[in-house]
Amino acid sequence: MPTTQPDLSQINTFIFDVDGVLTDGLLYAFADGEQVRAFNIKDGFAIKHAIRQGYRVAIISGKNEPGVRRRLEQLDIEDIFLGIEDKVETLENYLYMQGVSAATAVYMGDDMPDLEAMQLCGIAACPADAAEDVRAVSAFVTTRGGGKGAVRELIETTMKLQDTW
């Protein structure tokens, strides 16, 4: 794992996975089939603040749950890609369509389905409790776990560095 902080000065786009990044990775499955996740309110504040300051925020997740979409929409996220099997293709298309250079994007993931997409961005990031292989390739490893303020830590660190917090 890296011991120095990467250069976040050019970051203008944050890309996040959901389970294990915006949530702690726990999934509560009820008898009626509903699946519930818990989101961290401080992560939500940071996302909304970043968007208000002109940063792009995108979500790329393998799961597709209506409750997750509603929560992400409440955070004013417009670029929501759920039920994605090929995160690399989705990421490449997103960057191209938005005119975003991969060098100015940071991708935070937590497990193997995120690994290849993370490495396409200027900075790969992960929560402290990410899978070992993901931590090994991440230039920014938070001190907090997924769903416990990891997203806030990345956004706040970046924005404070850029004097936009």
Gap between the Cα atoms of 16 and 59, Å rounded: 5
- CA dist 122 and 106 (Å) reads 6
CB 72 within 8 A of CB 50: no
Contact residues for 89 (Cβ-Cβ < 8 A; gap 6+)? none
Calculate the dihedral angle through the C-alpha atoms of 67, 147, 2, 80, rounding to the nearest 10 degrees. Answer: 20
At residue 58, the 3 state secondary structure works out as: strand
Query: Using CA atoms, how far apart are residues 109 and 131, in angstroms rounded to an integer?
Result: 9
Contacts of 101 (CB under 8 A, 6+ apart): 95, 122
**Residue 133 assigned ligand-binding role:** no
Q: Give dist(CA 108, CA 111) in Å, integer.
A: 10
**Is 17 marked as binding a ligand?**
yes
| Residue 19 labelled as part of a binding site | yes
Binding residues for substrate: 19
User: Which residues participate in the annotated binding site for Mg(2+)?
Assistant: 17, 110
Q: Which residues are annotated as a binding site?
A: 17, 19, 110
